[in-house]
Amino acid sequence: MRAFLRQLVPAFLMLAVFTVITGVVYPLVVTAVGQAAFKDKADGSLLKVDGVIVGSTLIGQTFAEPKYFHPRPSNAGKGYDGYASSGTNLGPTNPVLIDAVKQRVIDYRTENNLPATLPVPVDAVTSSASGLDPEISVANADLQAQRVATTRNLPLETVQKLITSNTVGRSLGMLNEPGVNVLTLNVALDQAK
């Protein structure tokens, strides 16, 4: 029994030490570093308009009105639901996915008054792996620009300048492609009256 107790005491001490280190100290250090070095991102990159939070620049949201730029399709729940973040899990040869993409191409061309021969950017008709992408490609934004300019009665050049000013460059200067943050672009449009 004594041998058992001699082993039990150090085991409980180690449990207590590692609980404090991994359950208290480490999270506090990570939180402190995040707040000190990346405050905006650590707080969710929330965008405020007149003191009211309108969304996060890190998570996409639905914009369906013609006067707004539309994000890429989302399969996260009923659309941009952070609790249901996921892709479709449909393979590239799945007939359900193929039919959905074909219909999205038709809808995109119709909505933006595009000719049937004009290629549609892939991000305009397919969802991302997370279903929460906040950005669209520059090509996608450019094809939506005329619709937005016409609906808002703005010069096309004004809308194109807003696209350029809301374009985010490559991550680390080399990863992914430049994209346009849909939330910041639509907020800028609302403020351009």
**DSSP letter for each residue of 53-107:** EEEETTS-----STTS-------STTTT-GGG-------TT-HHHHHHHHHHHHH
* 163-171: average pLDDT: 87
Write out the residue range of the structural domain in which residue 36 sits.
1-43
Domain total of the chain: 2
Q: Do 118 and 26 share a domain, yes or no?
A: no
Q: Do 91 and 183 share a domain, yes or no?
A: yes
In total, the chain counts a number of residues equal to 193
Would you state the pLDDT for residue 9?
86
137 pLDDT more than 90: yes
How far, in Å, CA of 169 to CA of 32, rounded?
A: 28
Q: Do 21 and 102 share a domain, yes or no?
A: no
The answer to whether the beta carbons of residues 99 and 121 sit under 8 Å apart is no
Q: Do 165 and 151 share a domain, yes or no?
A: yes
111 or 47, higher pLDDT: 111
User: What is the token pair recorded at 99?
Assistant: 């039919």
**pLDDT, the chain, mean:** 88
At 160, the pLDDT band (50, 70, 90 cuts) reads very high
Burial letters 14-23, b for 16+ CB under 10 A, else e: eeeeeeeeee
Q: Do 155 and 75 share a domain, yes or no?
A: yes
pLDDT tens by residue, 5-41: 788 888 899 999 999 999 999 999 999 998 888 887 7
